[in-house]
């Protein structure tokens, strides 16, 4: 389908490597953020981790900047391993994050937004 090919080309380089697109600020709508959390989010008692392990450090920082600037979330950088950066939304931001994405989340995935 052409619409899926267009999306694929935004998030994959010509070499087939996953990337964060330059226009992620425009692309990361509340619906897209909900899908990101449902697919790659991991809840914890201290907030939410986005398992962005396959992205470079500058790309994860770019994503975090969108979360901080567009959604006013308190985010930090964590590392799963020394080469796998992850974006972490802190516990204090969870009420705001829930309000942003709850209308678009499947009920079966809401556990990712609750304290463990």
The three state secondary structure string of 35-80 is: HHHHHHEEEECCEEEECCCCCCHHHHHHHHHHHHHCCCCCEEEEEE
Question: What is the residue-averaged pLDDT of the chain?
Answer: 94
Give me the phi and psi of 106, to 5 degrees please. -70, 140
- CATH of 19-113, picked from 3.10.28.10, 3.40.1110.10, 2.120.10.30, 3.90.226.10, is 3.10.28.10
Is the pTM above the cut of 0.85? yes
Q: pLDDT tens, 56-112?
A: 999 999 999 999 999 999 999 999 999 999 999 999 999 999 999 999 999 999 999
């Amino acid at each position: 389908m052409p619409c899926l090919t267009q999306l694929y080309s935004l998030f994959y380089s010509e070499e087939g490597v996953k990337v964060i697109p330059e226009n992620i600020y425009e692309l990361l709508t509340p619906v897209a953020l909900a899908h990101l959390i449902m697919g790659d989010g991991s809840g914890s008692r201290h907030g939410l981790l986005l398992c962005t392990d396959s992205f470079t450090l500058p790309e994860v920082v770019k994503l975090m900047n969108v979360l901080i600037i567009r959604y006013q979330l308190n985010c930090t950088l964590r590392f799963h391993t020394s080469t796998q950066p992850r974006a972490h939304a802190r516990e204090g931001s969870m009420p705001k994050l829930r309000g942003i994405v709850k209308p678009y989340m499947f009920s079966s995935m809401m556990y990712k937004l609750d304290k463990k």
